[in-house]
Structure 1
Amino acid sequence: MSDQSGLNTPPFGGQHFGTPAGPTYSAQPYTGASQPYAGPSQPYPGASQSYPDANQPAGPDGRIPGYTGADFPAPGGVTTLQPAPAPAAPPKQSNRLGAVIVASALSAVLGVGAGIGSYAYFTGGGSVASPITVTTQQAANSPKLDGTVTAAAAKIQPSVVTITVQSGNSGDIGTGEVLDTDGHILTNNHVVAAAKDSGTITVTFNDGRTASAKIVGTSDTNDLAVIKVDGVKDLTPATFATSGSVQVGQAVVAVGAPLGLSESVTSGIVSNTARPVRSGDDGNAVYLAVQTDAAINPGNSGGPLVDLNGQIVGINSSIASTGSSSDGSQSGNIGIGFAIPSDIAVRVASEIIAKGTYTNSALGVSLGSQGDSAVSTATGVPLQDVTAGGAAAKAGLQAGDVVTKVNDFPTTSADGLIAATRFYAPGTKVTVTYTRDGATKTADVTLGSLS
């Protein structure tokens, strides 16, 4: 499967998938505040090394640590958090932010979902070197009444920044985290999208200093962006945990600027480690999200979700919602939030810093056009076409085959197949399980790449 974000398209990456039917969501940056990475307890590998997850095989039992088949499918009503209005203005959604359609299977229960975009305000009118630190240190699985959550918040807060984007007479406030001492900062693509063509980005650090920033590069298919400030000294880079260390039930802490309230801290647990989610500024971001019940709201977008060691396990990006208010503003947290896994965040950010762009993995297939791309199926995902010379074709897959797993990830929806493919770096060998003429088969596929 290639990495396109919708249905009825040529091999992923050729064209964007059409918008699936279902509830609509507005993607906007947060104002407050995933591919398991098997790296060592040291900074990310140097330029001469490949990402460990690019060639990291599954375990002896064929499973990827920290993920289970029960993690599929995604619930309905999932979207990127939308921007929220600044305190000085009545709640209102930024008009320039597009609608995003996500999982609709539970839409009748959850209603319209809302992205955790930035807090909006109105003024009236491959192998790469990485500067990012990754650790394999295990975090405690449950909070204690001895300051553990406090310690986690204290550890990450010096690395958390508030991002203000001004474009014309309106703006958004989101969150980000410092990646290195050179001034690179990670956030959601939908936080800074309004500043790509025009506008300004201002970063406020934990100690109150401010600096202007420029966009280094973005990936709308992962809803991630790297911005950079120059001339700012004494920065505190965040440390990332590996996705394989994340477990259901472990305590996590979210830090950001929900509703414009910077330096806000909330806590909860990991509810799921690999939930397929579609979100982003244009609905093209599809990833296996870390689900949490920690309270996240508009303004948390781009901010960190950390373990009790203060290490980032995900980048807060979207929430499920019961609907939007009558004035058009999005509703807030209902205990179902989603974060982009740390491994994906590290890989994307590292490549953007090195090259200015990011390349997704691709299976080299296109999917059918029936139904919503997030709707679960009982049989798997049928392949409408297999690109000649592509990764799937080289492994013997054919049009009409029904894919049921990528490694140990059950592919019960089109989005699940897309997310499972993007979970791995280009060049990774994965085992694809599929059915053909009623028989179950497997194929070892070396994933291709797609810009």
Structure 2
Amino acid sequence: MTTTFTDQGHLSPSSVAGYAPPQTWGPARPIQPPPRRRARAGLIVATGALSALIGAGAGVGGYALVAGSHPALAVSSATAPVSATLDGTVAAAAAAISPSVVTITVQSARAGEIGTGVIIDTAGHVLTNNHVVADAQGATLTVTLADGRTVDATITGTAPATDLAVLKLGSGVEAASLKPATFATSSSLSVGQTVVAVGAPLGLSETVTSGIVSATARPVRSGNDDTAVYQAVQTDAAINPGNSGGPLVNLNGEIVGVNSSIASVGQSSSQSGNIGIGFAIPADVAARVATNLIASGKSTDATLGVRVQSGDSLLAETTSTGVTLGVVEPGRAAATAGLQAGDVVTKLGQFRTTTPDGLIAAVRFYAPGTSVPVTFERAGTSRTVDVTLG
């Protein structure tokens, strides 16, 4: 049995990198939506190794159709309830986030995509997955707000390496009519915590599902070209094609992740639905990248300055406990801190690194310039050094 991963924005498959299963796991990709008038084959996540510069980019879904200055993003440090109760806690969370959720339509003369997004400021910026709008050039891009209004939108910036994009609503939308969502911090999450997803699975706008956090840092590779790699929040909340770009929230209605991909069993040309394994880009990464895209139209990823073999399986360059560095580039972050080729990196910052994609995801979780402790083994001895990421 083979397990593949698909994105949830516009329907298309994705895969998880760095997870050693009893089954075969492939790299994650965006969830592509099923066609309305003509069948569209789902994208199957391909498994493979590639030489990757740690710090480069990688990506995740949507639903397929046919045919200046800015306000700071809101981040909360409040603690959300861990589990749902029978008094409507999930309903309250859905009510809190739903006014901020939008449906995104990318329509060309021949085809189109439907995905989800979330309003993040009163200036009209909307956060979504890059794979939802990756084919928007030359197409009509519209956003349907929670109150039913449909407005044109433009792309402010994209970050394929994290599978994120920011849109800007067109003129005529009053700031007072927009309700920006609030981001939680990734550190506030715990396994077993109740979470709620809102979006447009299979084009069904304003759909609410709930589940729990299954894992807080699962290295996933997805996106249109498998270049997006990130420490995903794994959930069993039902996520399907069309959910891509939508929010995963805690019981306070605060964003803990941006839904981006799902796992599916078997290899097929048809779209696969939810099997209880979904992935979201963590809130810390989403908020930072969104802020950068709004400010400059681009976002720079942190780099370590090393090369390893990237992929989902444990390769010759990977041990059971860490990732062996193949090349340490002179003058870059790792070399400056004293790391050498042949060192086996077992942990970076708060994340254990047992696979190449796990190391890439750990690096990209942090902003450039962040100093993080890196633990590695050399000649049978474990050592830790502080590395300032490039």
TM-score range, shorter chain: 0.7 to 0.9
Contact 1:217 1:225 in 2 (8 A): yes
- What is the aligned partner in structure 2 of residue 93 from structure 1? 41
Instruction: Please name the residue that 1:292 is paired with.
Output: 235
Matched residue, 2:123? 182
- Are 2:6 and 2:263, in contact at CA under 8 Å, matched by a contact in 1? no
From 120, 127, 138, give the equivalent of 2:64.
120
Indicate which of 163, 169, 193 corresponds to 2:104: 163
Give the counterpart of 1:235 among 178, 183, 186.
178
Name the residue aligned to 2:52.
Answer: none
TM-superposed deviation, 1:77:
4.6
Match of 1:261 in 2: 204
Partner of 2:163: 223
Pair 284,116 (structure 1): closer, same or farther in 2 beyond 3 Å? closer
Determine helix, strand or coil for the equivalent of 1:194. Answer: coil
Q: Is the 8 A contact 1:74 1:276 kept in 2?
A: no
Residue of structure 2 equivalent to 1:379: 321
Structure 1 residues 345 and 226, CA gap change in structure 2 (3 angstroms): same
Closer, same or farther: CA 423–102 of 1 in aligned 2, 3 Å: farther
Q: Distance in 2 between matches of 1:92 and 1:136?
A: 42
CA pair 357-444 structure 1, distance change in 2 beyond 3 A:
same
- Contact (CA 8 Å) 2:90, 2:210: kept in 1 or not? yes
Q: List gaps (5 residues or longer) in structure 2.
A: 12-17, 50-58
1:408 matched residue in structure 2: 350
Picking from 24, 27, 32, the partner of 1:83 is 32
1:215 partner letter: I
- Are 1:351 and 2:298 matched, yes or no? no
Assess, with a 3 A threshold, how the Cα gap between structure 1 residues 439 and 360 changes in structure 2: closer, same or farther: same
Measured in 1, the distance between the counterparts of 2:248 and 2:296 equals: 26
The residue number in structure 1 matching 2:146 is 206
Q: Choose which of 9, 19, 22 in structure 2 pairs with 1:29.
A: 9
TM-score of the pair, normalised by structure 1: 0.76
CA pair 141-281 structure 1, distance change in 2 beyond 3 A: same
1:181 & 1:259 partners in 2: Cα distance? 28
Q: For 1:443 and 1:230, how far apart are their aligned partners in 2?
A: 48
Cα deviation code 1:340-371 (max 9, x no counterpart)? 000000000000000110000000111147xx
What do you get for the CA RMSD once the two structures are aligned?
2.4
**C-alpha distance in 2 between matches for 1:25 and 1:311:** 26
* Alignment correspondent of 1:40: none
The DSSP-based 3-state class of the residue aligned with 1:151 is helix
Contact preservation (8 Å) 1:101, 1:279: no
Q: Secondary structure at the match of 1:366?
A: strand
Displacement, 1:25?
Answer: 5.5
The 2-side partners of 1:420 and 1:165 are apart by 32
CA distance in 2, matches of 1:277, 1:102: 12
1:5 aligned partner: none
Query: How big is the shift at 1:277?
Result: 0.5
The match for 1:58 is none
Asked if the contact 2:34–2:241 (Cα under 8 Å) also holds between the matched residues in 1, the reply is: no
SS at match of 1:362: coil
Helix, strand or coil for the counterpart of 1:259? helix
Shift of 1:141: 0.4
For the residue of structure 2 that corresponds to 1:361, the secondary structure is coil
Please give the alpha-carbon distance, in whole angstroms, between the structure 1 residues aligned to 2:192 and 2:7: 28
Decide whether aligned partners of structure 1 residues 169 and 26 sit closer, same or farther in structure 2, where only a CA change above 3 A counts.
farther
Matching residue of 1:49:
none
Unaligned runs of 5+ in 1: 1-21, 32-71, 105-114
CA offset digits 1:26-72 (Å, max 9, x no partner): 657347xxxxxxxxxxxxxxxxxxxxxxxxxxxxxxxxxxxxxxxx7
Question: Identity over aligned residues, as a percent?
Answer: 60
Cα distance between partner residues in 2 of 1:102 and 1:225: 25
Q: Which residue of 2 aligns with 1:446?
A: 388
Corresponding residue for 1:149? 90
Structure 1 position 281, deviation (Å)? 1.2
The answer to whether the 8 Å contact 2:303/2:364 transfers is: yes
Distance 1:416 1:263 in 2: 33
CA gap of 1:25–1:312, structure 2 versus 1, over 3 A, is closer
1:415–1:167 Cα change, 3 Å:
same
Contact 2:3 2:265 in 1 (8 A): no
Please give the secondary structure, in 2, of the residue aligned with 1:321: strand
Is the Cα contact below 8 Å between 1:99 and 1:282 reproduced in 2?
Answer: no
Equivalent AA in structure 2 for residue 388 of structure 1: P
SS at match of 2:334: helix
Does the 8 Å contact 1:186/1:302 carry over to 2? Answer: yes
Q: Could you tell me which residue of structure 1 aligns to residue 56 of structure 2?
A: none
Partner letter of residue 342 of structure 1?
A
Q: 1:78: Cα distance to partner?
A: 5.6
Alpha-carbon distance between aligned partners in 2 of 1:215 and 1:83, rounded to the nearest angstrom: 20
